[in-house]
Amino acid sequence: MLKRQLKITVFWILFWSGSSLFAQNAIVQQKNASLKLESIKGQQPNNIVFILTDDHRFDALGFLKAQTFIKTPNLDFLAKNGAYLPNAFVTTSLCSPSRASILTGLYAHKHKVVDNQNPVSKDLVFYPQYLQAKGYQTALIGKWHMGGDFDDPQRGFDYWVSFKGQGSYLPDAHGLNVNGKHVKQKGYITDELANYAIDFIQSRKKDKPFMLYLSHKGVHADFIPADRDKGMSANHQFIAPKTMLNGTHQGAPMWLQNQRNSWHGVEFPYHSNLDIGEYYKRYAETLYSVDASVGKVIETLKQQGLLESTLIVYMGDNGFQFGEHGIIDKRTAYEASMRVPLLAYHPALIKPGTIVKEVVANIDIAPTFLELAGLKAPSYMDGQSFLPLLQGKQLNWRSGLMYEYYWERNYPQTPTIHALRGDRYKYIHYHGIWDTDELYDLQEDPEEAVNLIRSPKHQEIAKQMNQELFSKLMQSSGMYIPLYPDSGGQSILRYEYGSPAAEFPSNLKRKETVNNAEHK
């Protein structure tokens, strides 16, 4: 018996050592790799315009009519005349991790940018570096916000316009960093970034393909619309989500119920008496200028004769909850948090009205852009190019997408989360808390209002998804929890007159006691 226990112990020591070593090698492999990738025969380099917005939730698009005050005519144009990807997600719903996944094609546990506080490894390779090696002219205009409060030009970009941290909607003392020189911010940030983008397109080197990464501050909180857009949603009514009402989420975990009365809860949002409906309308008004900027970029490409040879991709870096499950903001594995808008437009490659139903993600952006540039994505990337899907081709695609979020001391209300999002079901697994996991039938229950984790009919599905989730974690060296030193303040207060702490789940309560000896 002792020998058997020793064998098991040695196995797990070796397993965890190997898993940890492999996790470290995920970055080392990139550091030692050449930036010269294998070319795809017959694939000519195309121009790329990637527009990323902050906290743009999946249904905040005018043509979806989720709220009457959402108006996005230019984004609607991209969807109607290009491709709409309704099942687009991020693998971590938080700014810095999501942006790092976009740039690297890696899960957060590999690139290790697991929060908004800690620095980005110098060993990480960003996809623009591969494009530069291919001869592309590259530009980053807007929000970087990865690894700290700085705005210095980063590797992979020939042209650089950015700002520190979250930036400011209105001009402030920090201003902008333009190719290493600090200049004043002249006006409303969305308009200013659009103007820089237009200038880059017009003044680019005509003999080179280009990749423009336009990264808007909008629509990050605190939402400040342009003066011209203020009040546009005043006469509209906010349609509250079903689960915003306390008690409507059946089988909700304790941590979620308790979060209602917290920094990210509808009862004490940002430790204030904020009206969620009015907050959403202000968000929509802030989004108007982002949509207008898309129209300006489209018009500039048209004037330059580039519209037929340029792929325009529009995406959100994560979603945003406006009352779903009694909470706001992001971080969770619920649809309104991890699901994002994704649109693609390229008249020469994509048929108008194309709808891609497969589950795609931020980790797929880098491989897709590399293929469009005529390059085979490096094997270490976790994502896969969805360019064939945009072209209407059949492709062997993923059966489920893995999601991860790591507990932050700054916002301890939300636990460490791993989830598997399939075409129909979603399984959510929590780490480090005494609570319940979750399972949802997204076909029958798109609002995720009924937790099926204890449903007798769904036990086999939960078991299979649990196994698949951990299989994916093992295969991608994700069997560890990143730990970093404390940084930043904490938002941990509760409202004295808000909801009390949630009751312990009744299914875990027992009236009878048993003899402990029977369970040793």
- DSSP per residue over 367-410, as a string? HHHHHHTTBPPPTT-S----HHHHTT------SEEEEEE--BTT
Q: What is the pLDDT of residues 175-204, one digit of tens each?
A: 999 999 999 999 999 999 999 999 999 999
Q: What is the per-residue pLDDT for 30?
A: 62
Residue length of the chain: 520
Backbone angles phi, psi at 215, to 5 degrees: -115, 100
- Dist. CA 347–CA 273, nearest whole Å: 47
Residuewise pLDDT in 10s, the chain (520 residues) = 444 444 444 434 434 444 444 444 445 456 656 899 999 998 899 999 999 999 999 999 999 999 999 999 999 999 999 999 999 999 999 999 999 999 999 999 999 999 998 888 999 999 999 999 999 999 999 999 887 778 999 999 999 999 999 999 999 999 999 999 999 999 999 999 999 999 999 999 999 999 999 999 999 999 999 999 999 999 999 999 999 999 999 999 999 999 999 999 999 999 999 999 999 999 999 999 999 999 999 999 999 999 999 999 999 999 999 999 999 999 999 999 999 999 999 999 999 999 999 999 999 999 999 999 999 999 999 999 999 999 999 999 998 899 999 999 999 999 999 999 999 999 999 999 999 999 999 999 999 999 999 999 999 999 999 999 999 999 999 999 988 899 889 999 999 999 999 999 888 888 888 766 555 5
DSSP assignment string, 293-340: HHHHHHHHHHHTT-GGGEEEEEEESS--EESGGGBEES-SSSHHHHB-
Domain CATH for 318? 3.40.720.10
Query: Does an H or E element contain 194, and which?
Result: helix 189-203
> 210, 372 in Cβ contact below 8 A?
no
Q: 55: cis peptide before it, omega within 30°?
A: no
Instruction: Determine how many CB atoms are found less than 10 A away from the CB of residue 84.
Output: 22
- Dist. CA 232–CA 92, nearest whole Å: 32
For the record, the structure tokens of 36 come out as 């010269």
- Dist. CA 234–CA 124, nearest whole Å: 46
What range does the domain containing 60 cover?
A: 47-398
For the record, the structure tokens of 381 come out as 């990337």
Q: What is the per-residue pLDDT for 511?
A: 87
| Domain contains 261 | yes
- Dist. CA 261–CA 501, nearest whole Å: 9
Exposed/middle/buried for 512, CB within 10 Å: 0-12, 13-18, 19+?
A: exposed
Q: What is the per-residue pLDDT for 512?
A: 85
| Domain contains 342 | yes
Instruction: Determine how many CB atoms are found less than 10 A away from the CB of residue 157.
Output: 23
| Domain contains 355 | yes
DSSP assignment string, 1-16: -HHHHHHHHHHHHHHH
Number of structural domains found in the chain: 1
Backbone angles phi, psi at 127, to 5 degrees: -55, -30
Q: What is the per-residue pLDDT for 5?
A: 47
Exposed/middle/buried for 6, CB within 10 Å: 0-12, 13-18, 19+?
A: exposed
Q: What is the per-residue pLDDT for 150?
A: 83
- Dist. CA 238–CA 224, nearest whole Å: 18
Give the start-end residues of each E strand in 406-485: 416-422, 425-431, 438-441
- Please name every residue paired with 265 in a beta bridge, in sequence order, or none if there are none: 327
| Domain contains 500 | no
> 43, 374 in Cβ contact below 8 A?
yes
Q: Is 80 helix (H, G, I), strand (E, B) or coil?
A: helix
Q: What is the per-residue pLDDT for 516?
A: 62
CB under 8 A, 24+ apart: contacts of 385-391: 386/85, 386/356, 386/358, 386/360, 387/349, 389/356, 389/358, 389/360, 390/83, 390/344, 390/346, 390/349, 390/350, 390/354, 390/356, 391/349, 391/350
| Domain contains 517 | no
Q: What is the per-residue pLDDT for 119?
A: 80
- Supply the angle between the helices 95-104 and 365-372 in degrees, to the nearest 10: 30
| Domain contains 182 | yes
- Please name every residue paired with 84 in a beta bridge, in sequence order, or none if there are none: 343, 355
| Domain contains 430 | no
| Domain contains 223 | yes
For the record, the structure tokens of 437 come out as 């996991």
Amino acid at 231: G
DSSP assignment string, 47-79: EEEEEEESS--TT-SGGG-SSTT---HHHHHHH
Longest CA span, the chain: 81
Q: Which residues contact 472 (CB under 8 A, 6 or more apart)?
A: 400, 402, 420, 478
Radius of gyration of the chain (CA): 23
